[in-house]
């Protein structure tokens, strides 16, 4: 079911940008679907604690995480293959400029944004590898919980990575034609804000509950 949801999200993102070239349209559709799945996986836990009627959704959290990692990996491989051609220099924002006769960094921030995306992807693979009961038994509950807790760090790295391309990369300083603004700008901020608010509210309610018990 979550796999079908992931495919549906990719399809919706793909259909919403018919004006883009096919390769860019595909990797952005897969990447944006991964962001939504990651936000849902992190929202389920605190939402269930705040609203008991939503608590049954907690059993789907692992599946959301697995499909987040799979779609994120596909997005990463597509970008490395179709955009930067597995060239480390291009990945860091360096390109050969014929007018200069040398390689130059044309897009400030491009390399840093990609590094954040790669770090997030690496941690997603770690989370994917440990998303099983067997991994929990082998690592122990304490270590397993510590590893899985990095999902929150991954989310905000992903948000920063996506925000760069939504708000900063394609501007008047871009050395090629500037495409139309991506409609996913506002939804990304709303997703990030919603996850943050849910996490804070859940933590506050949990701390109040513990204080009441101790009192």
Residue 117, exposed/middle/buried by CB under 10 A (0-12, 13-18, 19+)? buried
211 part of a folded domain = no
Average pLDDT over residues 93-101: 73
Number of compact structural domains in the chain: 1
The DSSP bridge partners found for residue 96 are 103
| Separation CA 136–CA 141 (nearest Å) | 6
Phi, psi of 178 (to 5 degrees): -85, 120
215 part of a folded domain = no
210 part of a folded domain = no
- The pLDDT score that the predictor gives to residue 209 is 59
Q: What is the pLDDT of residues 186-198, one digit of tens each?
A: 999 999 999 999 9
CA distances from 201 to 35, 141, 195, 197, 215 (A): 22, 25, 10, 6, 21
156 part of a folded domain = yes
Predicted structure pTM score: 0.87
pLDDT band at 177 (very low <50, low <70, confident <90, very high): low
38 part of a folded domain = yes
Domain enclosing residue 108, as ranges: 2-171+181-204
214 part of a folded domain = no
47 part of a folded domain = yes
Among 84-88, 170-174, 203-207, name the one with the lowest average pLDDT.
170-174
Average pLDDT over residues 17-26: 89
- The pLDDT score that the predictor gives to residue 16 is 93
213 part of a folded domain = no
Q: What is the pLDDT of residues 117-171, one digit of tens each?
A: 999 999 999 999 998 889 889 989 899 889 888 899 999 999 999 999 898 877 6
């Amino acid at each position: 079911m979550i796999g079908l949801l992931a495919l549906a999200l990719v399809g919706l993102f793909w259909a919403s940008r018919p004006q883009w070239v096919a390769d860019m349209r595909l990797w952005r559709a897969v990447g944006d679907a991964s962001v939504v799945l990651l936000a849902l996986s992190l929202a389920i836990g605190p939402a269930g604690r705040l609203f008991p009627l939503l608590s049954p959704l907690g059993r789907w959290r692992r599946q959301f995480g697995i499909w987040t990692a799979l779609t994120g990996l596909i997005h990463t491989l597509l970008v490395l293959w179709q955009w930067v051609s597995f060239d480390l220099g291009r990945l860091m924002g360096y390109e050969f400029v014929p007018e200069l006769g040398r390689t130059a960094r044309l897009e400030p921030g491009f390399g840093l944004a990609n590094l954040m995306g790669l770090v997030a992807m690496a941690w997603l693979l770690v989370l994917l590898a440990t998303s099983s009961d067997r991994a929990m038994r082998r690592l122990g509950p304490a270590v397993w919980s510590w590893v899985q807790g990095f999902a929150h760090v991954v989310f905000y790295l992903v948000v920063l990575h996506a925000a760069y391309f939504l708000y900063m990369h394609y501007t008047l300083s871009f050395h090629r034609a500037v495409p139309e603004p991506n409609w996913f700008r506002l939804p990304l901020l709303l997703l990030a804000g919603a996850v943050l608010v849910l996490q804070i509210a859940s933590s506050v309610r949990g701390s109040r509950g513990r204080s009441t018990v101790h009192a």
